[in-house]
Amino acid sequence: MQISRDELIAVLSQFNPWWRGESIADLPDWRRAAFRELHSWMTEPPAPRAVLLAGARQIGKTTLMLQSIDALLKAGVPPANILYVTFDHPLLKLAGIDAVLAAWREREPKAAGLDYLFLDEAQFIRDWGTWVKHQVDFQKGRRIAFTGSAMPLVEAAQESGVGRWHTIRLTTLSFYEYLQIKRVELPPLPTLRSLRELFDWTPPDFLRAGEIAAPYAGHFHEYLVRGGFPQTAQVESITQAQRLLREDIIDKVLKRDMTALFGVRRVLDLEHTFLYLCLHDGGLLDMTDLCANLEVKRATAQSFIELLEAVHLIYRLPPYGYGKEVLRARFKVYLADAAIAPAVMLKGKAILEDPAALGVATETAVFKHLFARYYAQSVRFSYWRGKKDREVDLVAETESGLIPFEVKYRAQHTGPRELKGLIELCEQKKLARGYVVTKTLADFGPLGGLGESAPGVEIMRIPAALLCYWMGATEVGK
């Protein structure tokens, strides 16, 4: 469809105020941890590649790009050489990328230096993979950043994309980032570059950190309810925040994006599948039960789950191991954010009064923080099951070995009796260290009482609020 050049220029001018010498309106001064990585790829890229910001809707991808544009302008890049465009806009989507670039150059003749293209919701560009490949291969004077809310943006046309773009996978806000965006002033915690450093702490170190961390616990619970979406995190009313989150997920992702991107017609069945996963967050996926409850065929349910993962609403964890046993085993499913389930169910703060629900929300938050911290290192996450159905919630498979995490978010003190699965895994795989994520600040420090039952094994108890804070802060400091 032909869109007039004047119409295109008018739309592009609205999205690019720097062409008129104006600043970017309402740009927050806080920056996500991923800003440093994005901006370094735009200014001093370690390889000639484009940059893909991948992640769910409403987690700050557009803001990151605008902050990078602002930094480029302040560094002296000519405004005419910077283009921001969102292909979520109907006219720009219809016009196509080539017409948009032609309108840009008619409105703003090229100045000396590199061009910088920031393309939002690039999954709506026709044959986007081929286009990006061509740009990276033949347009050496351009640096490109693009976003996508769907995993197929990464997976499609993989042969064309090999070595053509670097992916920055964004999760929702970490607890650390949440405190920053809310401008919460709390006493500073000790700096921790790695959880391994805790094994060198002395008893007074744990006592001192626990005392400092006392005001963090309440904010952590509110974070679990509000979630890590920047827009809803800043809404005063929790009820309103959850309503906005529900609308963004149900109305925009399930009903609009799934239809536009994947041609989903049975939207109600897809919504019911997602609601089922919300009710079983952090649990093993029972496909037989899901299909029976929702009255859908297994192939249909499997397709829906893959789509929900594609739009970054869920994560699937396989059991630890390799081979046919793993292929036949059940996956563990986590929602992308602990606040999604209570928001979709409009439960308000009810999960804070339900120990089981609070434990599930905490486990979901812990996984997200560990995933965000280790994603760039290509760490594989799984769960582990041993004898007598003993289980370890999370296992990170790193280059240096396995790192197991067990979540015991409850008021009672955590002892060896409650950690038989973790101890069994450490003994079986000859692991020197394991971690238990606890609730109270008194449940902090090395676990005693192992005796001769687990020789050479050290287990560290870490309150969830501290673990999530340190994982987010370490991510910023990378």
Of 35-49, 233-247, 255-269, minimum mean pLDDT range: 255-269
Helical residues (DSSP H) of 280-419, grouped into ranges: 287-294, 298-310, 324-328, 340-344, 355-374
Note if the pTM is more than 0.75.
Answer: yes
| Region 450-458 average pLDDT | 71
Hey, what's the torsion of the CAs at 139, 142, 147, 150, to 10 degrees?
10
At residue 108 the predicted structure's pLDDT band, cuts being 50, 70 and 90, is very high
Q: Considering only CA atoms, which of 444, 3, 55 is closest in space to residue 228?
A: 55
Taking all residues of the chain, what is their mean pLDDT, rounded to a whole number?
89
Find how far residue 175's CA is from the centre of its chain.
12
Six-digit token string for 213: 């961390």
- Which alpha helices (H) appear in 79-215, and where do they start and end? 90-95, 97-107, 128-138, 152-155, 158-161, 175-181, 203-212
Give the number of other Cβ atoms within 10 Å of residue 88's Cβ.
17
Which residues lie closer than 8 Å to 55 by C-beta, 6 or more apart?
61, 147, 149, 169, 170, 171, 312
pLDDT tens across 73-101, in order? Answer: 999 999 999 999 999 899 999 999 999 99
The pLDDT > 90 percentage for the chain reads: 66
pLDDT tens digit sequence for 175-203: 999 999 999 999 999 999 899 999 999 99
Least Cα distance to 148 among 65, 229, 71, 228 occurs for 65
Per the model's pLDDT, the better-predicted residue between 410 and 104 turns out to be 104
State the average pLDDT over residues 119-135. 89
Statement: residue 454 has pLDDT above 90: no
* Residue keyed to tokens 């690039």: 122
pLDDT band at 152 (very low <50, low <70, confident <90, very high): low
Highest-confidence range of 9-18, 264-273, 369-378, by mean pLDDT? 9-18
pLDDT score recorded for residue 6? 92
Residue matched to tokens 């149900």: 250
pLDDT in tens, 131-142: 999 999 999 999
Average pLDDT over residues 200-219: 95
Helices 298-310 + 267-279 axis angle, to 10: 80
Contact 44, 129 (CB under 8 A): no
pLDDT above 80 for 448? no
Structure tokens at 289: 């039960």
Domain(s) labelled CATH 3.40.50.300 in the chain stretch across: 5-170
CB 11 within 8 A of CB 103: no
pLDDT above 60 (res 161) = no
CB contact set of 425 (below 8 Å; sequence gap of 6+): 384, 386, 392, 395, 402, 404, 431, 434
For 457, other C-beta atoms within 10 Å of its C-beta total 18
Q: Taking residues 430-449, report their average pLDDT.
A: 91
CB 384 within 8 A of CB 395: yes
pLDDT band for position 236 (cuts 50, 70, 90): confident
What CA–CA distance (Å, rounded) separates 384 from 341? 24
Residue range 20-60, pLDDT digits in tens: 999 999 898 889 989 999 999 999 999 999 999 998 888 99
User: Comparing 133-147, 207-221, 228-242, 314-328, which segment has the lowest mean pLDDT?
Assistant: 314-328
Please say whether the beta carbons of 470 and 478 come within 8 A. Answer: no
The closest alpha carbon to 467, from 334, 368, 340, belongs to 368
pLDDT per residue over 328-357, tens digit each?
Answer: 678 999 999 999 999 998 888 889 999 999
pLDDT of 271 > 60? The answer is yes
Q: Does domain 5-170 have CATH number 3.40.50.300?
A: yes
In this predicted structure, the answer to whether residue 162 has a pLDDT above a threshold of 80 is no
